[in-house]
Amino acid sequence: MTSLHNDLVSVKDLTFHYEEDESPVLQNTTFSISNGDTILLLGPSGAGKSTLTFCINGLYPSAVDGQLSGTISIHEKLVTQYQSGEVSQIVGAMFQDPDSQFCMLTVEDEIAFGLENIDTPPHEMEAKIDEVLNLVHLTDYKYQSIQALSGGQKQKLALACVLAMKPDLLILDEPTANLDPKATIELVTLIQKLQQKHGFSLLVIEHKLDDWMGFVNRCLVLDKQGSVLFDGDPRTCFTTYSDSLRSEGIWLPKTCEVAKLLQTRGLYHHSSMPLHMNELCEGVIHTKQAIDALNMEKPERSSTNVILKVNDLHFNRKEKQILRDVDVTLYEKEIVALVGENGTGKTTFSKLISGLLSPSSGEVLVEGTSIEKWGELELRKKMGYVFQNPEHQFITDSVYDEVAFGLRMQGLSESDITHAVTTILQQVGLLHVQHQNPFSLSQGQKRRLSVATMLIDEQKLLILDEPTFGQDANTATALMNLFTERVKGGASILMITHDMNIVNQYANSVIVLHEGTVAFTGTPKELWQQSELLKKAHLQLPFYEAFQRQLIVKKEDDYAVRSY
């Protein structure tokens, strides 16, 4: 550490406007970060969390057309007084979109670029690169092209680049969003060990909270207006302010969500909210009733009409086999979750079945006809695709025009377009930003915009790559409800996701890709019984399922003690 002062960062009365916005993204935000702090930065989608990190590390307002008032000090020195590049050596940030911070072609060169900028001696560089690659389990990808990495692997690379700088403050903007469940736990554990070893402070923006509860010591909460709603102890935050957080759309730890649900039914008796699974189990009374209260039944598939069929699909990239022997059938009126570990070929598969890539061998049939025989325009009327990176599909200068583009191509009247666009923007919570440039939105808002551009065209099959990425509790629920309504209306949805809770609650069936081939097809309930497969494919039980199993074990242990 480079300072003996307790306050590493001090933010006072920070207000930030994007030039085109009528209202500020952040309003009179005041807080400090002390040496050794581990803080969860929480807030609804669009509350200014990412903007705040850009202000702290000195990128804003100079990198955008924006106006900043108030002060930010690091080691008791104003950010504006640092030389260019100095702040990035003290404050390391892993951004929400890792592609936005890469500037080299290969993994090795990307890490070397940062080390060169801080004048690392050439004879030390190789060892430092190997060290951080080993930390994030990317050693085998040292010479790989960055563009060939999966979304999760890119996030790991971004983290490696930051760790190489040995910052005093590490800011992680949704670091686990693109990671499979096993990799998520490994990353959180790694961060905890690194913090214990190196003593850096940590600011984490996250929607998946449970894995972080073991070592965070503060919650800093922003409301919809970008003002501080709460700053303090996590248990106080989720006990005293849980209703306020939920009304803002802020995720609670799953332990707290379940406790609140059981509390309303008289099945949970502790006064404070549990932050860990064991605490939750200890507070439960009437175990059988608690288990019954959490059981979720989803309707079975209501149609046997095949909308898409994949036969013996293979795909090679250069000399590497990505997919092999893939056979999949999708039916009308169902939500199918496509899951599996990072790098197993989920996004590649989705591009193959949507016609964005051509298979090395095998066939894709859309409503019984080879995808190669469909005209591009007719295929897009039938099938919508939401990219993993929403920015890859933006082509206009405003949110409104982005959604209206496809309708205008169809020749609809402007009055019909206005009604349709206004309705969908209202449904996805973007009506208030309809005149903004799509690239100025938060990552969560960009994701909802990309979904809206597909939903409005009424395609029969939607392929969605991580549709709930970056969403708060309210917007995630709103999106999933929209998908469910579309399915009831006759559509089918293939959804790539790492969120097993989403799979458990909404999916009618699940496809597991493992080592480039289909390892399982069936219902979520059937998948949860495949313990060996879950382990091999880096998956984990959804929270409700894991909790119910632990409750059963607790009940059996209590019975054994009483019998003894």
Interior/surface letters 407-441, b for 16+ CB within 10 angstroms, e for the rest: beeeeeeeeebeebbeebbebbbbeebbebbbebb
What pLDDT does residue 21 have? 59
Establish how many alpha carbons lie within 13 A of residue 439's alpha carbon, considering only the half-sphere containing its beta carbon: 10
Helix (H, G, I), strand (E, B) or coil at 74: strand
Mean residue pLDDT of the chain comes to 89
CATH number corresponding to 7-247:
3.40.50.300
CA 510, CA 490: separation in Å to the nearest integer?
A: 19
Ordered by start, the domain boundaries in the chain are 7-247, 256-294+547-563, 335-357+372-527
Closest CA to 336 of 180, 531, 526, 523: 523
Contact 67, 245 (CB under 8 A): no
Residue 266 phi, psi dihedral angles, 5° rounding? 70, 25
Establish how many alpha carbons lie within 13 A of residue 52's alpha carbon, considering only the half-sphere containing its beta carbon: 34
CA 176, CA 156: separation in Å to the nearest integer?
A: 9
**291-306 pLDDT per residue, tens:** 888 887 766 666 789 9
- Helical residues (DSSP H) of 57-166, grouped into ranges: 86-90, 107-117, 122-135, 151-164
What pLDDT does residue 96 have? 72
CATH superfamily of 335-357+372-527: P-loop containing nucleotide triphosphate hydrolases (3.40.50.300)
CA 250, CA 229: separation in Å to the nearest integer?
A: 11
CA 371, CA 352: separation in Å to the nearest integer?
A: 10
Q: Which residue has the tokens 């003002």?
A: 227
Token output for 33: 């970060």
Residue type, 426: Q
CA 223, CA 232: separation in Å to the nearest integer?
A: 15
Q: What is the DSSP string of 138-185?
A: -GGGTTSBGGGS-HHHHHHHHHHHHHHT--SEEEEESTTTTS-HHHHH
What pLDDT does residue 555 have? 64
Query: What's the predicted TM-score (pTM) here?
Result: 0.88
What pLDDT does residue 409 have? 83
Contact 273, 249 (CB under 8 A): no
Beta sheet of 228-232, edge-to-edge order: 91-94, 169-173, 201-205, 38-42, 218-222, 228-232
Contact 368, 329 (CB under 8 A): no
What pLDDT does residue 559 have? 46
Establish how many alpha carbons lie within 13 A of residue 457's alpha carbon, considering only the half-sphere containing its beta carbon: 28
What pLDDT does residue 20 have? 62
CB atoms inside a 10 Å sphere around CB 196: 10
Q: How far is CA 338 from the centre of its chain?
A: 16
Q: Helix crossing, 107-117 with 151-164: angle to 10°? A: 20
Token output for 327: 């056979």
Contact 195, 135 (CB under 8 A): no
What pLDDT does residue 4 have? 42
Please state whether beta strands 361-366 and 306-317 pair in parallel, antiparallel, or not at all (unpaired). antiparallel
- Distances 78 to 1, 11, 42, 67, 342 between C-alpha atoms, Å: 18, 10, 25, 17, 40
Return all residues near 382 (Cβ < 8 A) that are at least 6 apart.
366, 367, 374, 459, 460, 461
H or E segment and range at residue 13: strand 7-18
Helix (H, G, I), strand (E, B) or coil at 511: strand
Residue type, 342: N
Block mean pLDDT (10 aa), the chain, length 564:
65 87 86 94 91 90 87 94 86 83 93 89 91 90 89 83 91 86 86 88 93 94 93 96 93 95 93 94 90 76 86 91 95 95 91 94 95 90 86 90 89 91 93 90 88 87 91 92 91 94 94 96 95 95 93 66 42
CA 493, CA 486: separation in Å to the nearest integer?
A: 9
The reply to whether 7-247 and 335-357+372-527 are identical in fold is yes
Token output for 259: 């406790």
Closest CA to 181 of 525, 510, 506, 497: 497
Return all residues near 207 (Cβ < 8 A) that are at least 6 apart.
174, 177, 251, 470, 471, 472
Helix (H, G, I), strand (E, B) or coil at 406: helix
Token output for 386: 């939401």
CA 462, CA 452: separation in Å to the nearest integer?
A: 11
Partners of 222 in beta bridges: 228
